[in-house]
């Protein structure tokens, strides 16, 4: 049933640490309180409820998702990642609630927006613009985007960061992790410390818009002349650590084209996959945030438009070489070489139990089967991903197996998995051999 509380609306961002901590405290007590009441009711009826089932209910999930959407910042960002990465592991009605976090967030009311822009540009900032649309054209976890026209005729998209985001990253991550543990989404045996440290490092990078501007410029230069791909130009005279100005690029969200003609969907997916491989093996630089909203399509030009380079990071040459060896070995069916490359990448560790290594090798062999065939791969066919998901869940159920790959590997895998999911969302059919051939 649709929930009107999820409709984007103007809502001030809680900017101070005290106000954000109070939100988390109220949310945690509310979730625990409802779970206790439900548990008592079930016990009174003679049932023996599981704690996870009491905590992870649609009501609690809806409250958690709504609070994260209101808080924005690192809190919402982690919720978005959870919605992408655990959607296959949660009950469908709960996964749907968390998926709403990938849609537009609430946005700052005009008064708060003006305060943020005045702090960034000075009190007379409005004199530089012929028009500045107060209602954002997009709102996400860290900032919102406005369209503006400068007095010298530049049509811009201006991303404005929510106040307090940078200084609340570390505390937000700790508090969200505690809530996720409370809700039973991750097993208590899993040490989330390394993951949270890397997530904090990445989010601090994403919250630095000057850094993102440099990455935007770099990608623009690297992809200049690439047929069918466009990167908006940076306007550094209006860019600060909390405001990013770039060309406005018209287009529609790629994920909304799931009912477009098949050849268009195939062409877009092929372009996305080719770009991801090029980032990994050729450019040595990858935009590692696979959020579907980062990709748009311009029907007027047929261009794929790339947005949001806050998560851009260098790919070490050693890692790219190891992925190349994995591809070669997997497609050849060389089990020993596949295992050696997987170990080098960090798919599993040297201390991983033999039976778990064998399970992971079976999953790799499954993933390589369609690539060996050399035919058109149908991303709409969910049988492979369902089989891999089931095997992954069985492996996750083994309490003696919790392996966290190295950070660089995690981010590359996140991007590649995201492109797979987007191609599946489009129901695309793509010949894989021509895409992989240059890197084998």
Least confident of 319-323, 363-367, 403-407: 403-407
315, 286 Cβ separation under 8 angstroms: yes
Q: What is the dihedral of CA 330, 283, 235, 134, to 10 degrees?
A: 0
Using the 8-state DSSP alphabet, how is residue 10 labeled? B
Residue 306 has what pLDDT?
Answer: 96
Closest CA to 371 of 339, 328, 405: 328
CATH 3.30.200.20 maps onto the chain at 109-161+208-249
Between 236 and 366, the more confident residue is: 236
Between 403 and 169, the more confident residue is: 169
Strand partners, 159: 145, 244
| Average pLDDT over all residues of the chain | 79
Between 84 and 336, the more confident residue is: 336
Between 293 and 307, the more confident residue is: 307
Residue 63: band (very low, low, confident or very high) from pLDDT cuts 50, 70, 90? low
Using alpha carbons, list the distances in angstroms from residue 352 to 26, 364, 366, 413, 425: 40, 16, 20, 19, 34
Residue 387 has what pLDDT?
Answer: 83
Tokens of 348: 């599993």
Protein fold of 109-161+208-249: Phosphorylase Kinase; domain 1 (3.30.200)
Residue 432 has what pLDDT?
Answer: 87
Range 375-390 average pLDDT: 82
- Residue 77 to residue 138: CA distance in whole angstroms: 15
Residue 401 has pLDDT above 80, yes or no: no
Residue 1 has what pLDDT?
Answer: 37
**Side-chain-side CA neighbours of residue 174 (13 Å):** 7
Closest CA to 100 of 113, 119, 118, 87: 87
- Residue 267 to residue 123: CA distance in whole angstroms: 47
Per DSSP, helices labelled H in 288-380 are 317-332, 335-345, 354-373
Residue 79 has pLDDT above 60, yes or no: no
Residue 88: band (very low, low, confident or very high) from pLDDT cuts 50, 70, 90? very low
Residue 329 has pLDDT above 90, yes or no: yes
Least confident of 26-40, 187-201, 236-250, 340-354: 26-40
Which listed residue (172, 289, 303, 308) is catalytic? 289
**Side-chain-side CA neighbours of residue 281 (13 Å):** 20
Residue 46: band (very low, low, confident or very high) from pLDDT cuts 50, 70, 90? very low
Q: Is 381 a catalytic residue?
A: no
Residue 169: band (very low, low, confident or very high) from pLDDT cuts 50, 70, 90? confident
Between 80 and 405, the more confident residue is: 405
Burial category of 300 from C-beta neighbours within 10 Å (exposed 0-12, middle 13-18, buried 19 and up) = exposed
Residue 270 has pLDDT above 80, yes or no: yes
């Amino acid at each position: 049933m649709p929930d009107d509380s999820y409709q984007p609306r103007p809502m001030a961002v809680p900017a101070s640490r005290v106000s954000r901590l109070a939100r988390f405290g109220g949310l945690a007590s509310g979730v625990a309180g409802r779970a206790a009441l439900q548990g008592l009711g079930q016990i009174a009826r003679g049932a023996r409820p599981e704690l996870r089932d009491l905590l992870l209910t649609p009501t609690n999930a809806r409250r958690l998702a709504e609070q994260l959407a209101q808080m924005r910042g690192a809190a919402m960002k982690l919720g978005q990642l959870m919605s992408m990465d655990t959607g296959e592991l949660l009950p469908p009605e709960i996964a749907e609630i968390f998926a709403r976090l990938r849609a537009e967030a609430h946005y700052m009311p005009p008064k708060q927006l003006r305060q943020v822009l005045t702090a960034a540009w000075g009190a007379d900032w409005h004199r530089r613009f012929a028009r500045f649309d107060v209602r954002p054209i997009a709102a996400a976890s860290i900032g919102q985007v406005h369209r503006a026209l400068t007095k010298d005729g530049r049509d811009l998209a201006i991303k404005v960061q929510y106040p307090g985001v940078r200084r609340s990253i570390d505390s937000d991550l700790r508090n969200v992790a505690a809530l996720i543990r409370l809700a039973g989404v991750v097993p208590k045996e899993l040490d989330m410390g390394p993951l949270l440290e890397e997530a904090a490092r990445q989010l601090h990078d994403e919250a630095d818009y000057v850094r993102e501007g440099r990455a935007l410029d770099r990608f623009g230069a690297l992809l200049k002349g690439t047929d069918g791909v466009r990167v908006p130009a940076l306007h550094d005279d209006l860019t600060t650590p909390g405001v990013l100005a770039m060309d406005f690029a018209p287009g529609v969200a790629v994920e909304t084209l799931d009912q477009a003609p098949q050849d268009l969907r195939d062409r877009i997916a092929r372009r996305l996959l080719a770009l991801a491989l090029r980032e990994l093996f050729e450019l040595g630089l990858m935009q590692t945030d696979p959020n579907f909203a980062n990709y748009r399509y311009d029907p007027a030009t047929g261009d794929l438009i790339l947005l949001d380079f806050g998560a851009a990071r260098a790919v070490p040459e050693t890692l790219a070489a190891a992925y190349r060896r994995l591809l070669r070995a997997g497609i050849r069916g060389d089990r020993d070489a596949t295992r050696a490359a997987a170990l080098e990448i960090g798919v599993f560790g040297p201390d991983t139990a033999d039976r778990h290594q064998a399970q992971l090798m079976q999953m790799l062999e499954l993933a390589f089967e369609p690539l060996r065939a050399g035919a058109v791969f149908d991303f709409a066919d969910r049988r492979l991903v369902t089989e891999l998901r089931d095997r992954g869940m069985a492996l996750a159920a083994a309490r003696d197996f919790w392996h966290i790959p190295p950070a660089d590997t995690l981010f590359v895998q996140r991007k590649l998995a995201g492109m797979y999911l987007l191609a599946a969302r489009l129901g695309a059919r793509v010949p894989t051999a021509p895409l992989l051939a240059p890197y084998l």
